[in-house]
Amino acid sequence: MKCPYCGYKEDKVVDSRATAEESAIRRRRECLKCGKRFTTYEYIEEVSLLVIKKDGRREPFDRKKILSGIIKACEKRPISMEKIEDIVIQIERAIQKKSDREVSSSRIGELVMERLKGLDDVAYVRFASVYRQFKDVGQFMVELKDILNKEKRERKSAK
């Protein structure tokens, strides 16, 4: 494994464990040259999956796109990278269980929003504003009101 810091090609595995979903192995590695630590994930290679875009194009499924979208939504939020990885794994699993070989990009977006809504309201609204392409503040406010109403209902039921 190539060190992301110095590019050296030798390291040692410090810790190895399964992710929460047990669909990947998380390995903490230490570079033998610079001594910095980094994390890698090992996955089972699945049957290739195609994503159907809104304009009808098809492209290969790329988990990195989901990961980068969630990372952007969670920027400056108290959400660990491990939790973000777990969400990506959950989404991949859901897609693979329900799909033949094709899945719509809108289905993937909905799965991301479901996971983020339960995790962090700010990350959810950030992702939703890009995914749903909010055109004005009014659309943004509708989404925020839904979140606030949900919180009020939860507080009332807790009493």
With beta carbons less than 8 A apart as the criterion, state whether 13 and 27 touch. Answer: yes
66 and 130, same domain (yes or no): yes
pTM (two decimals): 0.65
Number of domains composing the chain: 2
35 and 67, same domain (yes or no): no
Of 2, 8, 66, 67, whose CA–CA distance to 34 is shortest? Answer: 8
- What residue numbers bound the domain in which 35 lies? 1-45
Residue 46: per-residue pLDDT: 61
- The radius of gyration of the chain's CA atoms, rounded to the nearest angstrom, is 19
55 and 39, same domain (yes or no): no
For the chain, the average pLDDT equals 88
67 and 125, same domain (yes or no): yes
pLDDT tier for residue 143 given thresholds of 50, 70 and 90: confident
114 and 88, same domain (yes or no): yes
40 and 55, same domain (yes or no): no
Tokens, residue 86: 């777990």
Residue 154: per-residue pLDDT: 77
